[in-house]
Amino acid sequence: NGIDPLTNQSVPEGECINHVHISRCLFYVSTLLGQLAEQGGLSQKKAKTVKAPFSVDPKACKNFRFSETPISISEITKRINELICPEEMEKVTYKQLLNWLIRSGFLRLTSVNGKMTRTPTSTGTALGILEETRQNRRGPYTLLVYNKNAQQFILDHLDIAIGFST
């Protein structure tokens, strides 16, 4: 309004604060701050969208990208989730599949040096769940990988696996 808030005196004509564009911007910002004050500030929470539970159409399963080379459960999960619309539907997680494989007798939990690990049972090995030793900067580690037969089995029993985990 042309008044210096620090001195309560009129701002001289030549000051930049009296420029029409700057004055309008300050009024706009003042209005926004007033509205925020009335609303109690900015909300940091996003509106949570409700997604449909995971399901996949059998026709869509035909588009699953099988690997001739054994792959990890997280890669299988990633490829399954490529078959759905993740904005509208919850994704399947690798933990859901692992829990089902454990409950179904294809994997077992074992303790090695106080750390729980998953290992294939004889049934799991016959299905195509294999242990593969890999190396990273911390040293060797064991990774479970799934051959094409195991990938197909998981895909064929996906509804059971997801239903089992809920």
Cβ-based neighbours of 123, under 8 Å, separated by 6 or more = 105, 106
* Whether residue 164 has pLDDT greater than 70: no
Q: Which of 55-59, 70-74, 135-139 has the least mean pLDDT?
A: 55-59
Q: Which residues pair with 115 in a beta bridge?
A: 112
CB 32 within 8 A of CB 69: no
CB 14 within 8 A of CB 7: no
Q: Is residue 159 helix, strand or coil? A: helix
* pTM score above 0.85: no
What tens digit of pLDDT does each residue of 73-101 get? 999 999 999 999 888 899 999 999 999 99
* Whether residue 153 has pLDDT greater than 90: yes
What tens digit of pLDDT does each residue of 104-119 get? 999 999 987 888 999 9
